[in-house]
Amino acid sequence: MLRLAKKIFSTGIQTEILPMPQHEIEHLGRALQVEIANKFSRALAIRMVDAGSCNACELEIHAVNNPYYNLERYGIHFVASPRHADLLLVTGPVTKNMQEALLRTYDATPDPKLVVAVGDCAKCGGVFQGSYAIVGPVNEVIPVNVVVSGCPPTPVAIMQGIFAALQCVS
Ligand code: SF4
């Protein structure tokens, strides 16, 4: 708990720290738009799954739709059901009580599906490593295409992760 509190106070507001100039973010967004137009008939549907995170990764995912990034303008939208999704964005280590839900969500997502594991917890357990309550990182429960590192990752890193996942589609 103390470890987590220390982390919260030492991490700045990721959303407002632009890791690259605005025009480069725009360039990345346009590249995403082209990939989506070519491979997903102009719209990519994302279902977000919190498998046991502290919620900071979710805040950065929400931030991709704020006025700084505005991901929707590139043809990306978030959906409420995995049955309507092309890609799952999964955060957190997988907790024991979310394992079944994550498996069911994966199974309910139509093929071909992509999975992006977002954050250090999703990658390796992060600050929750060794906890009695977790099963492990996301790839121990479902197949993962791309991992986005960071605690939490910035919105730009999340955009880059989505772009990398699109490269897995031929
Ligand atoms: S990676 Fe960091 S921000 Fe994301 S869920 Fe884990 S502790 Fe929270």
The pLDDT assigned to 67 comes to 85
The pLDDT assigned to 41 comes to 84
The pLDDT assigned to 15 comes to 66
The pLDDT assigned to 14 comes to 66
Question: Tens digit of pLDDT per residue, the chain (170 long)?
Answer: 677 777 777 776 666 666 677 788 889 999 999 999 999 888 999 999 999 999 999 999 999 988 888 999 999 999 999 999 999 999 999 999 999 999 999 999 999 999 999 999 999 999 999 999 999 999 999 999 999 999 999 999 999 999 999 999 88
49, 54, 128, 131: residue to mutate for ligand 1 pocket, most atoms within 8 A of CB: 54
Taking the CA of residue 57 as reference, the ligand 1 atom at the shortest distance is 4
Q: Is residue 159 a contact partner of residue 28, using CB atoms and an 8 Å limit?
A: yes
Residue 128 neighbours by CB under 8 Å, 6+ apart: 52, 92, 93, 121, 134
Q: Span 22-166: which CATH code? A: 3.40.50.12280
Residues with CB under 6 A from ligand 1: 53-54, 56-57, 91-92, 119-121, 126-127, 151-152
Burial 139-167 (b: 16+ CB within 10 A, else e): bebbebbbbbebbbbbbbbbbbbbbebbe
Taking the CA of residue 11 as reference, the ligand 1 atom at the shortest distance is 3
14, 120, 154, 158: residue to mutate for ligand 1 pocket, most atoms within 8 A of CB: 120
Q: What spacing in Å lies between the alpha carbon of 123 and ligand 1's midpoint? A: 10
Q: Is residue 53 a contact partner of residue 119, using CB atoms and an 8 Å limit?
A: yes
The pLDDT assigned to 47 comes to 98
